[in-house]
């Protein structure tokens, strides 16, 4: 049993050095770094740039809401302008979007997933030009009709129910035409051959910081990470092929298939093994997933969202721990909280993920064979 490399040993103890020497905590630190960065760039940056304009549009919406018993044209125009005053509209956000762009869909030519020239875009948009002009003309016509109907209702001081109903119907028609015109968005040129190498470097630095502080070989990690990133791009390329995507063979299945093929044929390249920190990457993703659910709840339902996230979640975790220890008699205290994970996604913000108990061999199936050839730490 001592020679079995697939047994994970865990002494169940905790040390202060775990805060900077273990993947569990580095997943939390990296997740919070991204959250803080996002808050500063998107939330604070958006508020700084758009504060005065948002106040102006809010004033228009308030005045229109007091003036008419329905949403007027001015109200909806102000609402539309306000919806565009967000952090993702900032110039820095556009640069981040360019940097993080992923390979797109393709049919016959895989290069199209990475590169589309301006000439190809113009040729693709040519058939849409007439439709866009027609849609825009329809929007202008329905806007004029809505304006006439609203003016008639306003002349009666919005006291005529029939005129109010007619104005509301005309405005609804205008809004439908606006949405229809918005769906005719033109294609855009792209060149991922410039952005993907920079994205790889950004990820390498991001995960390399934790790797260095945990005392691992950063040079070996960097070399292996290049190969790992290329394999990820290959999986994304295969998963984005339209026929494969149609039959459900997306990016994730292809990542497993490619890993199985490589690991069980030529074998995992030794130079890549230092970068195959599977738990490191997955735990960081889980922290971000938990943060997304947590903050979505708070934003959506306010104070009750805080109650759900920070009161209900600990209660479920503690109750599950007691149930596992007292009722199920589980040998590992850390493993006792595992059943609560699916029902408490935001719990990933509260504590690190538990490790399996000592001498717990994994089940030997096909995925086990693949995983055994792709260890999470270099051998």
Q: Where are the domains of the chain?
A: 17-92, 118-188, 192-373
Mean pLDDT of 254-282: 90
Q: Is the dihedral of CA 248, 293, 350, 321 positive or negative?
A: negative
Q: Which residues contact 7 (CB under 8 A, 6 or more apart)?
A: 1, 358, 359, 360, 361
| CB-count exposure of residue 315 (10 Å: 0-12, 13-18, 19+) | exposed
Q: Is the dihedral of CA 131, 136, 137, 142 positive or negative?
A: positive
Least trusted range by pLDDT, from 3-7, 69-73, 133-137: 3-7
Question: Beta partners for 115?
Answer: 191
Least trusted range by pLDDT, from 211-220, 227-236, 341-350: 341-350
User: Is the distance from CB of 235 to CB of 259 less than 8 angstroms?
Assistant: no
Of 280, 206, 213, 207, nearest to 21 by C-alpha is 213
- Residue 159 phi/psi, 5° resolution? -100, -10
pLDDT of the residue at 11: 55
Question: Is residue 71 pLDDT above 90, yes or no?
Answer: yes
pLDDT of the residue at 293: 67
Question: Is residue 6 pLDDT above 70, yes or no?
Answer: no
Least trusted range by pLDDT, from 133-142, 157-166, 254-263, 326-335: 326-335
Residue 4: which region, alpha, beta or left (left: phi > 0; alpha: psi -120 to 50)? beta
Most confidently modeled range among 9-18, 32-41, 67-76, 89-98: 67-76
pLDDT of the residue at 352: 43
Q: How confident is the model at residue 111 (pLDDT cuts 50, 70, 90)?
A: very high
The pTM for the full model equals: 0.68
Report the interhelical angle of 192-213 vs 218-239 (nearest 10°).
140
pLDDT of the residue at 353: 42
Q: Which residues contact 30 (CB under 8 A, 6 or more apart)?
A: 206, 207, 209, 210, 284, 287
Element spanning 128, H or E: helix 118-155
Question: Is residue 349 pLDDT above 70, yes or no?
Answer: no
Least trusted range by pLDDT, from 9-23, 54-68, 99-113: 9-23
Of 99, 120, 91, 113, nearest to 187 by C-alpha is 120
Mean pLDDT of 224-253: 91
């Amino acid at each position: 049993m001592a020679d079995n490399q697939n047994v994970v040993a865990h002494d169940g103890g905790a040390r202060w050095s775990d805060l900077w020497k273990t993947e569990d905590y580095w997943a939390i630190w990296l997740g919070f770094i991204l959250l803080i960065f996002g808050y500063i760039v998107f939330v604070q940056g958006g508020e700084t740039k758009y504060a005065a304009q948002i106040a102006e549009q809010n004033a228009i919406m308030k005045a229109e809401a007091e003036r008419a018993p329905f949403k007027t044209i001015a109200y909806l125009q102000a609402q539309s302008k306000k919806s565009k005053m967000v952090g993702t509209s900032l110039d820095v956000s556009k640069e981040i979007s360019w940097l993080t762009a992923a390979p797109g869909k393709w049919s016959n030519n895989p290069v199209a997933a990475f590169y589309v020239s301006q000439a190809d875009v113009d040729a693709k948009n040519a058939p849409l030009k007439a439709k866009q002009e027609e849609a825009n003309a329809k929007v202008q016509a329905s806007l004029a009709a809505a304006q006439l109907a609203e003016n008639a209702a306003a002349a009666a001081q919005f006291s005529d129910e029939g005129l109010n109903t007619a104005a509301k119907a005309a405005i609804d028609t205008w809004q439908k035409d606006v949405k229809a015109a918005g769906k005719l968005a033109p294609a855009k040129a792209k060149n991922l051959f410039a952005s993907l190498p920079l994205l790889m470097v950004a990820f390498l630095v991001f995960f390399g910081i934790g790797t260095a502080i945990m005392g691992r070989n950063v040079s070996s990690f960097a070399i292996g990470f290049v190969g790992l990133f290329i394999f990820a791009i290959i999986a994304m390329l295969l998963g984005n092929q339209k026929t494969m995507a149609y039959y459900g063979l997306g990016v994730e299945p292809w990542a497993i298939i490619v890993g199985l093929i490589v690991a069980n044929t030529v074998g995992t390249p030794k130079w890549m093994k230092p970068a195959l920190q599977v738990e490191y990457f997955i735990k960081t993703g889980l922290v971000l997933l938990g943060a997304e659910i947590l903050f979505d709840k708070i934003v959506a339902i306010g104070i009750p969202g805080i109650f759900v996230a920070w009161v209900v979640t600990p209660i479920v975790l503690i109750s599950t721990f007691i149930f596992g220890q007292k009722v199920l008699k589980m040998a590992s205290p850390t493993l006792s909280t595992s059943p609560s994970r699916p029902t408490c996604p935001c719990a990933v913000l509260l504590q690190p993920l538990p490790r399996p108990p000592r001498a717990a061999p994994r089940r030997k199936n096909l995925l086990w064979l693949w995983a055994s050839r792709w260890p999470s730490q270099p051998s």
